[in-house]
Amino acid sequence: MLATPVLTAPLPEIRDELETNLFGIIRVARAFAPVLAEHPVSSMVNVLSVLSWLALRGGYEISKSAAWSATNSLRVALREQGTMVTALHVAYMDTEMVGGFDAPKADPAGIAAQSADAIIAGDFEILADDTTRAVKAQLSENLTALYSQLAPA
């Protein structure tokens, strides 16, 4: 999470975020797909973000949105071999990455438990907190539901 403003950050910094959040999950999926295929039933969880659906003017959310799309593609591509791909969307999880943010944070152990339950239930998506559920619910509304600054004055 490099805080790369989309209009002013050097493109290599935005590429770094894409390398990590997009190409990273593709590389992991390619590496593990043959191993997962050896099992009749297997699963993969991609850790995404509420920022998969909500832009704040930066490269991070661009990379997470692309990762969400890649997760959907991987889900379809790996289905035939019996691998279920689940997307985990979370706002703030109590990790080093967001340690300096003054916001409510989800407990990683609770997120892991939700993820395990979702895999067992066969869920394709985990909306891990109230913020994530609220943003996802607004996706089918007018764009100004998420971006009030776009509404006519």
In terms of average pLDDT, the best of 26-35, 99-108, 144-153 is 26-35
User: Residue 81 class from Cβ within 10 Å (0-12 exposed, 13-18 middle, 19+ buried)?
Assistant: middle
| Residue 32 to residue 13: CA distance in whole angstroms | 27
Tokens at residue 111, please?
Answer: 């997120």
Tokens at residue 69, please?
Answer: 């799309």
Question: By the 8 A CB rule, do 40 and 19 touch?
Answer: no
Closest residue by Cα to residue 135 from 151, 147, 153: 147
Q: How confident is the model at residue 25 (pLDDT cuts 50, 70, 90)?
A: very high
Question: By the 8 A CB rule, do 90 and 49 touch?
Answer: yes
Q: How confident is the model at residue 144 (pLDDT cuts 50, 70, 90)?
A: confident
Residue 21 predicted with pLDDT over 70: yes
Q: What is the pTM of this model?
A: 0.87
**Would you call 87 helix, strand, or coil by DSSP?**
strand
What one-letter code names the amino acid at 97? M
